[in-house]
Structure 1
Amino acid sequence: MTVFSILGVTLGVAALIIVLSVMGGFEQDLKGKMLRGQPHLEILAENPILGFSLNDVPLDQLKTAIRDGHGFSPFTQGDVVIKQGKHLAAVNLVGVDTKFDNSMWAFHETVVDGDLESINENHRPLLSLEENRSSFPGIMLGEGVAGQLGADLGDEVTILSPQAASGAVLFSGGTITRTYVVTAIFRSRIFTYDSKWAVVRLEEGRKFMPDYDPYLDIENFVTGIAVNADDPYDVDGIVSRLKAQFGQLNFRTWKDANSALLFALQLEKYTMGAILMLIVLVAVFSISGTMMMTVFHKKTQVCLMRSLGMTQKDIARLYMFQGGTIGFLGILLGLALGLGVCFILHESRYIDMPANLNSIRGLPVKFLPFEYAVICIMAFMLTVLGALYPALTASRQNPSSGLRYS
């Protein structure tokens, strides 16, 4: 029975270590994609839709205020509809300036056809049969958007702006539709970006801001400024400093943009840990039951030791030591088994993942020393508590009654 009690603790501890390590690996992989796919910090106007002027908030002033940041890049952003032939796609149109470092965006260095610099030039549609056909600005599409539209390099697409006000179009030159030529396609392997993003140069993106007029070009209006922090996990410190100096602006970190998903990951991790801890709890009841049987069968020996001079504390300490030994051995074996399986999963290249997870080659594993320590301590405390009642029962045995019937 003692062997089965040890095995129960072993399996419980091993299951906790393996599951939390794999979940931690998935969490780390997902956070890595978040940090590669979007800026660590976005500096926005009080009304993010309207944007703000770079003449009022110069980039040099922001760079001075953010000492532990890099990759400053102004951008525009808006919801538009792209049309190619009979196909339509609702996308997020992003305007960027290629003179700046755009490494924080998902499309950077993920171009599979064409190149990002091509959006700075005008191009003639590849299949145009007219010699004097006009040229149009370039646009880069996510692979999913291009597939939805059936568009390829050199194809002509039209952007429709649902945000353009009729008054702005009639009196100040606002844009409802504009034609572009597909000059690049990117594949970031992040579904949100590949299926929803299109990229144009900053001046073109500005034309799809609400209530556009030439004044926005003069004042260098942008939706925001993207910044990468040297330490993305300490981005809140940068925000607190900026709020004191630029109270008229808003700030959105990568944590804010993904707050619901991050909370769900943490909740799932703790919930799974609590559920698996029940395995250890069942093992603790097994230990308690095994020790109660030992107390019953060894009643005579316990009474004999009492009559030879051992105190109640000595008997209780003896049984507590037995319970602690069972727990310690189970925890030690469970730790070895759990870490061994995690190492095999970490090094394995033979686990087939679903096709839609093509960016993950195997089960991701993250080794979590602190969590392992917490698991071992909690499991040991539970096993000691499980041994407490049998130990107290044994210590309260009456020596005379035990020896009388022996």
Structure 2
Amino acid sequence: MTFELFVALRYLLTRRKQAFISIISLISVAGVALGVATLIVVFGIMNGLNADLKMRILGVSPHIMVLSMRQTINDYEDVVKRLKAMDGVTAAVPFIYSEVMISGLDGVKGAVLRGVRPESLAQVLSLDKGAEGAGAEETRDAFAKLKGNGLPGIMVGWELAKTLGAKPGQRLYLLGQWSGGTGVDTGSFRPSVRIFELEGTFRTGLYDYDSSVAYIDLEQAARLLGYPPDRVTGIEVRVSDVYNADRMARRINDMLGPSFYTRDWMDMNMNLFGTLKLEKAGMLLVLLLIVLLAAFSIITTLVLLVMEKSRDIAVLMALGARRNSIGRIFMYQGALIGFIGTTVGLAAGVTLALLLKRYQFVHLPEGVYTSDTIPVLLGWVDMTVVAVAPLVFCFMATLYPARKAAGMDPSEMLRGR
């Protein structure tokens, strides 16, 4: 142990006559600990919400959507085969997309219609992760009935079903724009109405999705909209590395040529995730101010200690202590306060976050958020930032008191001036 660290520990631990300074030191430690613990818990919750939202979005949205500049894809089976042959592609499923009006017992509502192949739906829709309510197995069984034995089947989001007043087994009327078989790119549209039987509902936790999306069989969607058998709106693609979807989308563009274009899940949800990042940055700034406030109290503590220990400083200088050694004594003391506060805050924050993750004793209003409990995810990068930032603040807070102590004149201090 160095001489400077030994003296710093003595000043920090022995406080028989400086009770007021001791209280300020404890307040400084508590302030740092509170700020660090709050940062750990808040970052854990925000990371958990972000991860939960990504999981739900990826559960109901394609990783990459392949579309045509001509609005529809002709001879799509050939395109599907070429996509499936690409390295890194795990699934490629055609779909028909359109905006329709759905009529139920309690009213009419606009909806996003997706025509899919029920047998291949599980390749692009993670029902075991995204579906709630009736349960994943029951929801998959309901999707399998979309072809229907009598009337064609339809699946709608549970919020959309509530709006329409529809229950499984009831009839729903779909109004779409039929092209008369001449192709959707000619502009010759006229209304088309077909009757469907509600097979069931699904719930993903994403309100916009649950309140506006409906699924029907791909062939039924083609009949409703007047599509030829070999024509679809686009192709949903799933890849093995979801965070490499943008690069994979560029590879698909290069392979298919200029008549096609792609959109990946990050691009389609850019505004949402950008808002989450902005909120996280704002929260970091606000909470770091708590730590900065604690750092100012460290300055107060050390300045008062320098004034209290002026004679001791003079004696140490008279005994041969150098000015930079005197400065390091108070730098070590402030750094110790920051280290203790950071350590206590990390321990308290991680403990509270793990308890919240395990026991879920805080519940969220149902239907407001994507989950009814608070998801928690601790990231090593965030924890490192939270641990390092307070230490830097506390060290910077020691510079002025240390310089003041090192610049004192020992002869003047011994005279009592």
* TM bucket normalised to smaller: 0.7 to 0.9
Which residue is 1:265 aligned to?
276
Distance 1:349 1:164 in 2: 52
Matching residue within 381, 385, 388 for 1:374: 385
Question: Equivalent of 1:90, from 110, 124, 130?
Answer: 110
* CA RMSD across the alignment: 2.7
Match of 1:199 in 2: 215
Q: Distance in 1 between matches of 2:269 and 2:178?
A: 25
Identity of aligned residues (%): 28
Q: 1:290 & 1:354 partners in 2: Cα distance? A: 45
Provide the aligned length of Structure 1 versus Structure 2. 384
1:17 correspondence with 2:20: no
Q: Is the 8 A contact 1:158 1:177 kept in 2?
A: no
Question: Which structure 2 residues correspond to residues 49-60 of structure 1 after superposition, within 5 A?
Answer: 50-55=71-76, 57-60=78-81
Residue 257 of structure 1: how far off its partner (Å): 1.7
Partner of 1:121: 148
Equivalent of 1:364 in 367, 375, 383: 375
> Distance in 2 between the 1:259 and 1:18 partners?
26
Q: Is 1:222 aligned with 2:236? A: no
Unaligned runs of 5+ in 1: 124-135
Equivalent residues in 2 for 1:6-405, closer than 5 Å: 6-47=29-70, 50-55=71-76, 57-65=78-86, 67-84=87-104, 87-105=107-125, 109=136, 111-112=138-139, 115-123=142-150, 136-161=151-176, 176-190=191-205, 191-209=207-225, 212=226, 216-217=228-229, 220-248=230-258, 249-357=260-368, 360-405=371-416
Deviations 1:287-318 (A, max 9, x none): 01110001111111111111211111111111
Structure 2 distance, partners of 1:383, 1:304, is: 27
Aligned to 1:130: none
Structure-2 separation of matches of 1:37 and 1:113: 13
1:264-296 deviation per Cα after TM superposition (whole angstroms, max 9, x unaligned): 111101110110000000000000111000111
CA offset digits 1:96-136 (Å, max 9, x no partner): 1124243423667475597223222351xxxxxxxxxxxx4
Aligned residue number for residue 127 of structure 1:
none
In structure 1, what is the equivalent of residue 18 of structure 2? none
What amino acid is the match of 1:30?
A: L
The alignment partner of 2:174 has SS state of: strand
User: Which whole-Å CA distance do the structure 2 matches of 1:56 and 1:297 have between them?
Assistant: 85
In 2, are the aligned partners of 1:111 and 1:187 still within 8 Å (CA)?
Answer: no
In 2, the alpha carbon distance for the partners of 1:395 and 1:160 equals 84
Q: 1:79 to 1:114 in 2, by over 3 A?
A: same
Cα deviation, residue 346, structure 1: 0.9
TM-score using structure 1 length: 0.87
The 3-state SS of whatever aligns with 2:373 is coil
How far the C-alpha of 1:53 sits from its partner, in A, is 1.4
**How far did residue 360 of structure 1 move?**
2.7
TM-score norm. by structure 2 comes to: 0.85
How many Å separate the matches in 1 of 2:137 and 2:310?
Answer: 74
* Letter of the 2:110 counterpart: A
